[in-house]
Amino acid sequence: MPVNEKAKLVAKEELILGIFKFSVVAPEIVEQAKTGQFIEIRVNDDIEPFLRRPISIHNMDRKSGKLEFIFQVKGKGTEILAKRNVGDLIDVVGPLGNGNFDYSKYEKIGIIGGGIGVFPLYELAKNAKNDGKDVSIYLGFRNKDLVVLEDEFKNVSTNFILTTDDGSYSKKGFAIDFLKEDIENGKVDSIYACGPLPMLKAVQKLAIEKNIPCQLSLEEKMACGLGVCLGCAVKTSDSTKEAPQYKHVCKNGPVFDAKDVEI
Amino acid sequence: MNTKVNLAGIEMKNPVTVASGTFGYGREYSEFFDLSKLGGIITKGTSLKPRSGNKPARVCETASGMLNSIGLQNPGVEYFAENDLPFLRKYDTAIIVNACGSSIDEYVELCRILNTLDIDGVELNLSCPNVKAGCMAFGNTYEGVKQVTSEVRKVLDKPLIVKLTPNVTDIASIAKAVEDAGADGVSLINTLLGMKIDINKRRPMLANNTGGLSGPAIKPVAVRMVYQVAQAVNIPILGMGGIVNGDDAIEFMLAGANAISIGAGNFIDPYTSVNTVKGIEDYMKKFNIDDINSIVGTAEMN
């Protein structure tokens, strides 16, 4: 059940230019939150900017009630958020979403993320590793300057691949090509993905082709975050041209089975 | 101190309701507070048959507000009656169903069903700007509004409120059509038709290109229209458009609203509606107002 918490900002760090990691104390949210869920943040007490910002949970510590989230400064809202100071109380609603990452039935976990989509995958990788699973992580970034969290992800993996589109750092190419190779070599038995839409589409296609279970974490423009406004619609695969069917990222997701959605 | 109001024959413990489409059928917000604290709940726009809604993107933020083009996605009246109404009825609050349709026949058939349900009233949606047929197509002329309202009136014994679109030249004449057709009240305003263009992609942000603008950005327009309608008709007014706190609610009541709705304000803070109830009480204390009804329409014009 989501709650509204005034969460104290206890640490903030600019990881790379324009990308901030915030650590807040939100014990009621952390107590309930499942892997893959998200929060909605009101960046100030004003009516401008108007809506809350949906942001994924990056990492949680159940004992201390600490929650970490990472965001990129993209517009007015995130700009204001980035300027909040340690000690401030941040207005957070969460945990939100009902579709979670679930790897319990599988052993060889393949996690693929691209760009700022890698953030929600950390909690997943950490938990899977702690549960003794084989965790293969494939992260793709456009170039060297955009690489984040390399060491963090490496530490929660058994097999780690980092790619840049232009080859300016680590392996050149797309992360999905390495994932594909490992699927073919039997190193991965399930896929968990978050990232830009073209990557998600390619992952979905690959998973269906190889008949491998796959979960995708999606995003869509959102208002309430609770399943009320029905704004963040995503078409489901049982749609027909005459009768489209929709689910909602905030209520039914943000994590969906790759077979269930048309992205 | 009396906060009770009677809106078009519907008794409410306070003048605060939640606007259609911003509160679903109550379940989500019931996890945050006791829905019995509200004067009333206007349900999500409900149609005779289920509707799947518009293509995404359906929402986007604008200055002090937002655009939406949901397209009346709802599970249909049958599902509502079986699944949502019993849930809502557990709370001591007025339940008003927002009814939408694509043709007069559909409105009539829907209201015939609603008349048999355990609800307190109907808000007839003649103002949704996001669907191709019905709604605003009827709602923007005197004749259209009068015709649909009169036909519905014949089958509906329950309190009938008609929700008006602001996308008209003369809101007062449209409100008059509602009164002339025998409805019990009017509610206004629905969203203002708007558009936002993504300058990087050079195309509208919403898949439907246009959508309905809501939030504090539209409040001055809404207050003006409530005032104009209050001068034109004698039936009660449910006022809405950008209300996010008690002060905003009082403003609408001074302009002539007998009760108010919180709309997009629910999205920014799940407690906006209950905080508004408290805000109204605070205002009453501050100005020694014994009865909230006594302030309705009392703003003196310059």
Per residue in B124-135, pLDDT tens? 999 887 787 777
Residue that finishes a domain, picked among A217, A234, A251: A217
Query: CB distance from A2 to chain B under 8 Å?
Result: yes
* Residue in B23, B53, B64 closest to A233 by CB: B53
Among the partner residues B55, B68, B215, nearest to A229 by beta-carbon distance: B68
Measured in degrees and rounded to the nearest 5, phi and psi for residue B207 equal: -60, -35
All residues of chain A having their beta carbon less than 8 Å from the beta carbon of residue B56 are 220-221, 231-235, 246
Per-residue confidence at A140, pLDDT binned at 50, 70, 90? very high
pLDDT at A243: 87
B209-267 per-position pLDDT tens digit: 999 999 999 999 999 999 999 999 999 999 999 999 999 999 999 999 999 999 999 99
What is the number of CB-based contacts under 8 A between chain A and chain B?
104
CATH number at residue A54: 2.40.30.10
DSSP string spanning chain A?
--EEEEEEEEEEEEEETTEEEEEEE-HHHHHH--TT-EEEEE-SSSSSS-SPEEEE--EEETTTTEEEEEEE--SHHHHHHHTPPTT-EEEEEEEE-SB----TT-SEEEEEEEGGGGTTHHHHHHHHHHTT-EEEEEEEESSGGG---HHHHHHT-SEEEEEETTSSSSEES-HHHHHHHHHHTT--SEEEEES-HHHHHHHHHHHHHHT--EEEE-----SSSSSSS--SEEEBTT--SSS--EEETTTT-BEEETTTB--
Q: Are residues A129 and A40 in the same domain?
A: no
The tens digit of pLDDT for each residue in A226-236 reads 999 999 999 99
Active site residue B135: no
Q: Answer for the pair B231, B247: CB distance below 8 angstroms, yes or no.
A: no
Q: How far apart are CA B226 and CA B232, in angstroms?
A: 10
B25, B88 contact by CB (below 8 A):
yes
Q: Are the beta carbons of B269 and A233 separated by less than 8 Å?
A: no
A47 and chain B in contact, CB less than 8 A: yes
Identify whether the C-beta of residue A95 lies closer than 8 Å to the C-beta of residue A37: yes
CB-CB neighbors (< 8 A) of B31 in chain A: 1-2
How far A156 CA lies from chain B's nearest CA (Å)?
35
* Nearest by CB: B64 against A48, A227, A244: A48
**Which residue is it, tokens 């100005």?**
B287
Domain residue ranges in chain B? 5-53+70-196+214-295
B44 within 8 A of B98, measured Cβ to Cβ: yes
Assigned domain for A131 exists: yes
Contact A245 B52 (CB under 8 A): yes
Q: What is the pTM of this model?
A: 0.95
Please check whether residue A230 touches B, CB under 8 A: yes
In a domain, A112, yes or no: yes
Average pLDDT over residues B274-278: 98
Q: Is residue A235 one of the residues assigned to a domain?
A: no
Q: Is residue A10 part of a domain?
A: yes
Instruction: Compute the distance between CA of residue A207 and CA of residue A210 in angstroms, rounded to an integer.
Output: 5
Domain membership flag for residue A64: yes
pLDDT of residue B39: 98
Contact A229 B61 (CB under 8 A): no
Indicate the residue among A200, A217, A234 that finishes a domain. A217
Q: What is the pLDDT of residues B150-193, one digit of tens each?
A: 999 999 999 999 999 999 999 999 999 999 999 999 999 999 99
Q: Token digits for A208? A: 């269906």
Of the listed B100, B111, B128, B135, which one is catalytic? B128
Region A175-198 average pLDDT: 97
Average pLDDT score over chain A = 97
Same-domain pairing of A128 and A212: yes
**What b/e readout covers A128-140, taking b as 16+ CB neighbours within 10 angstroms?**
bbeeebbbbbbbb
- Report chain A residues whose CB lies below 8 A from the CB of B66: 50-51, 223
List chain B residues with CB under 8 Å of A244.
52, 55
Collect all residues of chain A within an 8 Å Cβ-Cβ radius of residue B70: 229-231
Q: What is the pLDDT of residue B137?
A: 76
Chain A 77-106, residues with CB within 8 Å of chain B CB atoms: 77, 91, 93
Mutation for testing the A interface, residue in B61, B68, B208 having most A CBs under 10 Å? B61
pLDDT of A40 over the 80 cut: yes
Under CATH, to which class is B5-53+70-196+214-295 assigned? alpha beta
A262 touches chain B (CB under 8 A): no
Provide the domain limits for residue A193.
108-217
CATH of the domain at A196: 3.40.50.80
Regarding whether A213 and A139 lie in a shared domain, the answer is yes
Helices B171-180 and B142-155 sit at what angle, rounded to 10 degrees?
30
Picking from A61, A96, A131, the residue at the C-terminal end of a domain is A96
A226–B270 CB contact, under 8 Å: yes
Residue pLDDT, tens place only, A142-169? 999 999 999 999 999 999 999 999 999 9
Is the ipTM beyond the 0.90 threshold? yes
Look at residue A62 and tell me if it is in a domain: yes
A59 and A141: one domain? no
In a domain, A239, yes or no: no
pLDDT in tens, B56-111: 999 999 999 999 999 999 999 999 999 999 999 999 999 999 999 999 999 999 99
Domain count, chain A: 2
| Residue A42 in domain | yes
A48 in the same domain as A27: yes
**Cα(A74)–Cα(A116) distance, rounded to whole angstroms?**
11
Closest chain B residue to the Cα of A247, Cα to Cα: B52
- Rounded to whole angstroms, the Cα distance separating A249 from A226 reads 10
Residues from B contacting A (CB-CB < 8 Å) are 21-24, 28-29, 31-32, 52-66, 68, 70, 73, 205, 215-216, 244, 264, 266-271
In whole angstroms, how far apart are CA B11 and each of A173, A192, B5, B15, B299?
Answer: 66, 52, 6, 10, 24
Higher-confidence position of B128 and A140: A140
Phi, psi angles (nearest 5°) of residue B106: -65, -45
For residue A26, pLDDT over 80 is answered with yes
Q: How far apart are CA A225 and CA B70, in angstroms?
A: 15
Determine whether the interchain pair B58/A231 forms a contact, defined as Cβ–Cβ distance below 8 Å. yes
Mutate to test the interface with B, among A29, A218, A229 (most CBs of B within 10 A): A229
Model confidence pLDDT, tens digit, residues A66-107: 999 999 999 999 999 999 999 999 999 999 999 899 999 999
Whether residue A180 sits in one domain with residue A160: yes
